[in-house]
């Protein structure tokens, strides 16, 4: 069972497809691993192994070749996305005892491709903030040092991967929520282009800020899960049809970039010098492989104003919860809802125009460069007692989301981006490299990310046992 936990997802799926192991074997291994380590990190507070085994047995009634891309591979789902018959809380006391009646479109799509859902991963309340804690389940801790944050909001997913409680994991991303925890936990997380991954539509049917996406321990495993996530679903009007691309094959294609740009801060300071130095050192290693590396970035100066306005607007639909349950909401959520309710039409128009300009500048930038490299997070993991980063490199940050602008900027341009490990601080804490590609360029992004992963030699960091 220990050997199984330490295999890559691609190795496990290959063995599932040949019948060497079964999905039930995988679930047994995971259940033992969760029992052994989750008490120290609190990544998967809700588990549904009975439901998973029922699904696995049904899947196993099919011939080996008809069990989907994942062939019975277990997958945890972030506790912002409903799984039918399972406790789904949104990390909020308001929904502490809620059992979802139906599964989200994303879940049914994954299950249709051979995924087996066995747990819900912890998240901040309503995914607000990049530090995973809530009043329902408590804090999720970083396995590299359990006194530190795992980041968020897909923090439970990242920690489950890093500790061997998952081979792949689902997450979501508006302001870096797939990328930030990947950086803090030494794993890989990708924000796809809007529309690549279909999900159930709620209040706004055409939102391109928040997306669903994959996490894994390495680039190949992430590409495997991404292949099982992509595809058109009529119930999601923004979902894109699959063009037949195998993203796993793309990752393995051997393509390498000719010219990349690297930036210490995207022109959006501050960034901790330890982080910036590790990112720059990683980029310079590419030069030895014949890649042209230049310090450059597109003009993204409107990021903070634009992100604050559009993020606030996305919370305005939660006004009924504020009216009925204000005392149960954390202060940061209250602030965001109230800010969203005060946004004017003129402010919205200005923010949308700013976003359009940044989108066009990014597209023009990629006429010169294959990829853009920069930090994923502006700091290494911070103490769990802090609610968010309030200061960096001597600069005081005003709000709980100001420290996320380096990932928000990429969100606003609708570019796909991935975070992979690029090194460690002197305290042996992981730091992530954010790699950005042109819009809808996931195939190039994954190929480039795997190339850089191989150059850096950091593709096999996890799983680890939690450390104090």
Q: Can you read off the two tokens belonging to residue 131?
A: 């530090």
Q: What is the secondary structure of 69-119 as a DSSP string?
A: TTTT-EEEEETTS--TTSB--TT-GGGTT-B-SS--HHHHHHHHTT-EEEE
CA 218 → CA 161, 251, 425, 436, 453, distances in Å? 10, 11, 20, 17, 8
Using an 8 Å Cβ cutoff, are 415 and 437 in contact?
yes
Let me know if 183 is a catalytic residue: no
- Residue 465 burial (C-beta neighbours within 10 Å; 0-12, 13-18, 19+): exposed
CA-CA distance, 210 to 275, in Å (whole number)? 26
Question: Exactly one of 17, 23, 78, 193 is catalytic; which is it?
Answer: 78
Using an 8 Å Cβ cutoff, are 91 and 51 in contact?
no
Q: What are phi and psi of 341, to 5 degrees?
A: -70, -20
For CA atoms 64, 116, 464, 381, the dihedral sign is positive
CA-CA distance, 120 to 24, in Å (whole number)? 18
CA-CA distance, 111 to 104, in Å (whole number)? 11
Residue 456: CB atoms within 10 A of its CB come to: 17
Question: Exactly one of 103, 121, 153, 183 is catalytic; which is it?
Answer: 153
Let me know if 78 is a catalytic residue: yes
Question: Exactly one of 92, 149, 177, 263 is catalytic; which is it?
Answer: 177
Using an 8 Å Cβ cutoff, are 416 and 440 in contact?
yes
Using an 8 Å Cβ cutoff, are 394 and 166 in contact?
no
CA-CA distance, 448 to 267, in Å (whole number)? 23
Using an 8 Å Cβ cutoff, are 56 and 116 in contact?
yes
Closest by Cα among 135, 108, 173, 106 to 45: 135
Q: What are phi and psi of 309, to 5 degrees?
A: -70, -50
Using an 8 Å Cβ cutoff, are 315 and 202 in contact?
no
Let me know if 153 is a catalytic residue: yes
Give the catalytic positions in this structure. 78, 153, 177
């Amino acid at each position: 069972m220990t050997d199984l936990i330490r295999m890559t997802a691609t190795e496990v799926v290959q063995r599932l497809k040949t019948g060497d192991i079964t999905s039930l074997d995988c679930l047994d291994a995971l259940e033992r691993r969760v029992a052994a380590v989750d008490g120290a990190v609190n990544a998967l507070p809700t588990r549904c192994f009975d439901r998973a085994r029922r699904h696995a047995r049904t899947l196993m009634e099919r011939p080996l070749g008809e069990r989907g891309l994942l062939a019975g591979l277990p997958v945890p789902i972030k506790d912002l996305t409903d799984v039918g018959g399972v406790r789904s809380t949104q990390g909020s006391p308001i929904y502490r005892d809620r059992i979802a009646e139906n599964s989200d479109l994303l879940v049914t799509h994954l299950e249709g491709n051979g995924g087996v859902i066995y747990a819900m991963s912890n998240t901040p309340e309503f995914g607000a903030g990049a530090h995973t804690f809530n009043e329902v389940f408590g804090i999720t801790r970083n396995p590299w040092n359990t006194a530190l944050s795992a980041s968020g909001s897909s923090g439970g997913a990242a920690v489950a991967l890093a500790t061997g409680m998952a081979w792949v994991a689902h997450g979501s991303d508006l302001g870096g929520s797939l990328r930030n925890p990947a950086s803090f936990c030494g794993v890989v997380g990708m924000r796809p282009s809007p529309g690549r991954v279909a999900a159930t539509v709620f209040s706004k049917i055409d939102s391109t800020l928040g997306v669903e996406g994959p996490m894994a321990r390495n680039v190949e495993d992430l590409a495997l899960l991404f292949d099982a996530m992509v595809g058109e679903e009529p119930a999601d009007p923004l979902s894109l049809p699959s063009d037949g691309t195998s993203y796993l094959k793309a990752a393995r294609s051997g393509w390498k970039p000719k010219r990349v740009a690297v930036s210490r801060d995207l022109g959006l300071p501050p960034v901790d010098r330890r982080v910036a130095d590790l990112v720059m050192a990683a980029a310079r290693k590419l030069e030895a492989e014949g890649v042209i590396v230049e310090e450059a970035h597109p003009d993204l100066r409107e990021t903070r104003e634009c992100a604050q306005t559009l993020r606030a607007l996305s919370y305005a639909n939660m006004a009924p919860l504020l009216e009925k349950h204000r005392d149960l909401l954390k202060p940061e959520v209250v602030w965001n809802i109230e800010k969203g309710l005060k946004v004017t039409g003129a402010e919205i128009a200005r923010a949308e125009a700013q976003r359009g300009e940044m989108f066009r500048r990014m597209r023009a930038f990629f006429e010169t460069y294959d990829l853009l490299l920069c930090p994923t997070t502006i700091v290494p993991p911070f103490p769990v007692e802090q609610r968010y980063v309030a200061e960096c490199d001597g600069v005081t940050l005003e709000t709980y989301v100001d420290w996320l602008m380096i990932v928000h900027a990429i969100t606003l341009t609708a570019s796909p981006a991935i975070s992979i490990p690029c090194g460690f601080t002197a305290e042996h804490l992981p730091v992530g490299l954010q790699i950005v590609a042109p819009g809808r360029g996931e195939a190039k992004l994954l190929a480039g990310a795997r190339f850089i992963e191989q150059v850096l030699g950091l593709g096999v960091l996890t799983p680890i046992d939690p450390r104090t």
